[in-house]
Amino acid sequence: MGFGERKFLEAAHEIDNITLDGFEFLTESKKESVECKIYRKYEEVSGLYEYKIMGSISDVLPDVCKQVYMDLEYRKNWDDYVYELYEFEEDGVKNIYWSVNYPWPMSNRDYIYTRALRELEVNSIPTVVVLAESNLLTKTPERSGVIRVKEYHQSLIIQSDGMVGTKAFMHYFDNPGGLIPSWLINWGAKTGVPTFLNSMRKACLGYKEYFSKK
């Protein structure tokens, strides 16, 4: 398991040169200090879409976004969809276990994935790159009543917007499995991403206070 340096570099450069071959515009959202545009690409095998998102939070610095995104314990406080979330080691590999609340009557989903962060420069701009993907070699058994997500990959790139805010790029694919209509999954992406960004902004604004109480 692991990510080569080439993957980090390729992901990082897309924040300024987003590749949209085969992608279509889905939606855009503006609320308070948060903006995002979402594009999608149909995948015939799964019948689902992969997504690319350009986003910005105009009143939060990149370093705070990075810390909040990587802090699993803090995420339990602000992300209502988290049922269980922790890091563990298996065969010398650090993994993350993430159990997600799904609305009734659907079953909850869980993920076991690896994650890595690199800090580098793109056009002389400090850039944070976080890569994540499912660990298909895990020995952790599936839980009764919970569907294991086995197809998941994500890249997140964070940069300064040149002022006092953050711009970000995300590319992800997620196959939740089970009997969920594809229209419902895509509706979730259309509404869930802006909601997540707004929740993350609030979490960033409250991170200093949270950290001081730890």
pLDDT of residue 112: 97
Predicted TM-score (pTM) of the model is 0.92
Whether 1 shows a pLDDT value over 70: the answer reads no
On whether the CB atoms of residues 65 and 200 are closer than 8 A, the answer is: yes
Closest CA relative to residue 96, chosen from 87, 106, 109: 87
pLDDT of residue 212: 84
pLDDT in tens, 181-210: 767 777 777 788 888 899 999 999 999 998
Whether 104 shows a pLDDT value over 80: the answer reads no
Q: Tokens for 169, please give them.
A: 């790029």
Indicate the helix (H) or strand (E) that contains 15: none
Q: Other C-beta atoms within 10 Å of 164: how many?
A: 10
pLDDT in tens, 110-165: 999 999 999 999 888 999 999 999 999 899 999 999 999 999 999 999 999 888 89
On whether the CB atoms of residues 16 and 157 are closer than 8 A, the answer is: no
